[in-house]
Amino acid sequence: AQSVTQLDSHVSVSEGTPVLLRCNYSSSYSPSLFWYVQHPNKGLQLLLKYTSAATLVKGINGFEAEFKKSETSFHLTKPSAHMSDAAEYFCVVSEGDSSYKLIFGSGTRLLVRP
Amino acid sequence: AAGVIQSPRHLIKEKRETATLKCYPIPRHDTVYWYQQGPGQDPQFLISFYEKMQSDKGSIPDRFSAQQFSDYHSELNMSSLELGDSALYFCASISIGTSEDNEQFFGPGTRLTVL
C-alpha cells in the first residue's frame, strides 16, 4: 500500500527566507506525487505534480519540488517566503496502478512571520 | 475553464437527519472521487465512481451511500447523521481515459455541520 509521511506538522519561517516542507513516500509502483495547498476555510489548490518526467518540478507561486527515488522523498521548497504562503500544505500520492485515489499526508502548517 | 461544482457549499443538519451532497464534474470527466476532511485532519478517501459504476471504496460508513448518474454527476447520501460527520466534503474529477498524470481536479467542497 502506498503512504505519505510529512515530517513536520508545523514549519515557521520569516518572510523572505527559504521554505522547506518535507515529504517521504512509500510506493510499490511508480508513483504520481502532488503538493496541494489549502488556505483557511478554502478548498484544495494544486501547487505542482510529479508524473515520472523531470525530477525537478516547478509549480505555481515560485514553489518547486524534487523527486528523489533513492531517498523516497518529494520535498517542497521556495526560495523566499511571502506572507500569503501561510497555509496548510499536503503531500499526496496517487496509487495509479488500478486506482487513482489520492492518499494524503497529514499536512504541514506553514507560518510566515513578518 | 469549467471547474468541478459542488452543492450546497454549506449545510447544517441535526443529528439523525439525512443529507445529500452533489458533485458536478468537469465536462467529459468520467470519474468522480469523494473525500472527507474532518476538522484539523487530512482528507480521507470515501468512494469513487468510473463510468457510473463504483470503482473503489475507502473508509465510508455504511450510513453513507453514493452513486453516479448518466450525466456523470454524483450524489453522496448521508443518513442518521452524527456529530462526527461534521466535515468538509470534497469531490474531485478526472478523465481516466485521457489523463496522463493522475491529476484530480477538486471542487470547492461542501461544509457539513451536524448539530
Decide which of A89 and A1 is more confident: A89
Task: Please say if the pLDDT value at position A45 is more than 80.
Answer: yes
Across chain B, what does the average pLDDT equal?
A: 93
- Average pLDDT over every residue of B8-28: 96
Q: Which of B58, B90, B102 sits opposite A100 (nearest CB)?
A: B102
CB pairs under 8 A between A and B: 56
Mean pLDDT of the residues in chain A: 91
Distance from CA of A47 to the nearest CA of B (A): 11
CA distance A104 to A98: 18
Burial class (CB in 10 A: 0-12, 13-18, 19+), A60: exposed
Would you say residue B44 has pLDDT above 90? yes
What is the mean predicted confidence (pLDDT) over B25-42? 93
Model confidence at A28, pLDDT cuts 50, 70, 90, reads confident
Give yes or no for residue A1 having a pLDDT over 80.
no
Q: What is the mean pLDDT of residues A26-51?
A: 87
Q: How far apart are the first and last CA of chain A?
A: 41
Contact A110, A86 (CB under 8 A): yes
- Binned at pLDDT 50, 70 and 90, residue A97 comes out as low
- Kindly determine whether residue A43 and residue B106, on different chains, have CB atoms separated by under 8 Å: yes
Cα–Cα distance measured from residue B113 to residue B106, given in angstroms and rounded to the nearest whole number: 20
Give yes or no for residue B26 having a pLDDT over 70.
Answer: yes
Cβ <8 Å between A99 and B42: no
Cβ atoms of B94 and B105 closer than 8 Å: yes
CA gap B51, B94 in Å, rounded: 11
SS3 for B109? coil
Which one has a higher pLDDT value, A52 or B47?
Answer: B47
Q: Which of B42, B44, B102 sits opposite A32 (nearest CB)?
A: B102
pLDDT grade, residue A53 (50/70/90)?
confident
| Per-residue pLDDT reduced to its tens digit, B69-87 | 999 999 999 999 999 999 9
Instruction: Tell me which chain A residues have a C-beta less than 8 angstroms from the C-beta of B35.
Output: 102
Number of Cα atoms under 13 Å in the Cβ half of residue A51: 10
Nearest 5°: phi and psi at A108? Answer: -125, 125
Distance from CA of B85 to the nearest CA of A (A): 17
What average pLDDT does the segment B30-39 reach? Answer: 94
For residues B13-26, average pLDDT: 97
Distance, CA of B26 to CA of B106 (rounded, Å) = 10
Strands B53-57 vs B44-50: parallel, antiparallel or unpaired: antiparallel
The C-alpha cell that represents B5 in the structure block: 461544482
pLDDT for position B99: 67
A7 touches chain B (CB under 8 A): no
Mean pLDDT throughout A64-86? 95
CB distance A49–B55 less than 8 Å? no
Q: What is the DSSP string of B45-94?
A: EEEEEETTEEEEE-S--TTEEEEE-TTS-EEEEE-S--GGG-EEEEEEEE
Burial class (CB in 10 A: 0-12, 13-18, 19+), B86: middle
